Amino acid sequence: MKLIMVRHGQTEINKEGRIQGRSDYPLNKAGIKDAQKAAEVLIKNVKNIDFFISSPSKRAFETTQIILNKYGYNKTINKDPSFYERNFGPYEGKLVADTFPITKNLPGYETNQEIQKRVYDGVMNLYQKYQGYTVLVGCHSHTIKSILVVFAADKYNYNSILLNGAILILDVKEDSIKLIQVLNNTTEPQYYSR
């Protein structure tokens, strides 16, 4: 299965530099442009997308809808809670610059192991349903990173920066996930630091 993971476009909370997590905000004007740009980049690089999946969050669903519309498809977007953003618990709403890297697992904070299991299980469920197809998942920064820290650990960690509208193309097999291409992001991985 070819899996395309797209980070949602910008929201007002992103613009303010705050941790959004499970808080549900729609795209702002810049976020709509981020999604449109992601769609344009995808159209140039991926001829056909068979299935569209989204995190239930407004920002991810709106991003996925914009991409679907740019392709001109009349397809359904299925919402899958496996692809929600990490639950940041008490860190939600805090400034990224003051918080990252997170070093304490406070109550309510979804640990690395928990998000990695949730997202990996979601990817494997998609693989069981859609082997041989191309699937796009509209999702979130830490959702994507939870795959990258395991299968592309030489380049990515949870402090890696994924821009709004970043696109990662992965090859998913029963026993492996391989990062094929990164589009619409920085050319070399960048990281949050204090």
CB 7 within 8 A of CB 144: yes
CB atoms closer than 10 angstroms to residue 122 = 22
* CB neighbour list of residue 57: distance below 8 Å, 6 or more residues apart: 8, 22, 24, 84, 85, 140
* CB neighbour list of residue 2: distance below 8 Å, 6 or more residues apart: 46, 133, 134, 135, 169, 170, 171, 172, 180
SS3 93: coil
Q: How many helices (H) and strands (E) does the chain have?
A: 6, 6
Task: Give me the residues paired with residue 93 across strands.
Answer: none
* CB neighbour list of residue 107: distance below 8 Å, 6 or more residues apart: 89, 90
* Pairing label, strands 167-173, 2-7: antiparallel
Q: Which amino acids are annotated catalytic?
A: 8, 85
